[in-house]
């Protein structure tokens, strides 16, 4: 590019009085969520609750060589793992064994 091109400038020396009138808007506090909650409760809506987080580090594989894959609904899977953790089972296999032993023990064969 050639150096002989001159850029147009903005002369704002006489406009400083006009710019002093501009002030930032004050920050507005967010509205309360309580009216929305009351409206949702009155309409019968319920909140979605987060699924419990499962720490997968304690579910490490041991000497298991066979895999059992079954298709279940997501609710059934969540219920299985919730009960497994609630009973203190260290793995899904351990909890499944407890379920099978309980089933056989009650004469469910």
**Alpha-carbon torsion, ordered 30, 33, 35, 41, to 10 deg:** 160
Give the span between the Cα atoms of 81 and 96, in whole angstroms.
10
In the chain, where the domains are located: 72-83+91-109
| Cβ count within 10 A of residue 24 | 5
Query: 5-50: per-residue pLDDT in tens?
Result: 777 777 777 666 666 777 888 876 777 778 888 888 899 888 777 8
| Cβ count within 10 A of residue 98 | 14
What is the average pLDDT across 95-102?
93
pLDDT at position 80 over 90 = yes
Give the confidence band of 108 by pLDDT, cuts at 50, 70, 90.
low
Specify the range with the lowest mean pLDDT, choosing from 57-66, 79-88, 96-105: 57-66
């Amino acid at each position: 590019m050639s150096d002989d091109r001159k850029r147009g400038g903005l002369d704002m020396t006489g406009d400083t009085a006009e710019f002093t009138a501009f002030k930032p808007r004050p920050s507005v506090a967010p509205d309360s969520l309580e009216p929305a909650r009351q409206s949702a409760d009155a309409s019968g809506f319920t909140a979605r609750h987060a699924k419990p987080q499962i720490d997968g580090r304690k579910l490490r594989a041991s000497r298991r060589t066979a895999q059992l894959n079954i298709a279940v609904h997501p609710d059934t899977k969540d219920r299985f793992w919730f009960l497994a953790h609630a009973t203190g089972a260290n793995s899904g296999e351990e909890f499944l064994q407890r379920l099978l032993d309980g089933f056989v023990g009650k004469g469910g064969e």
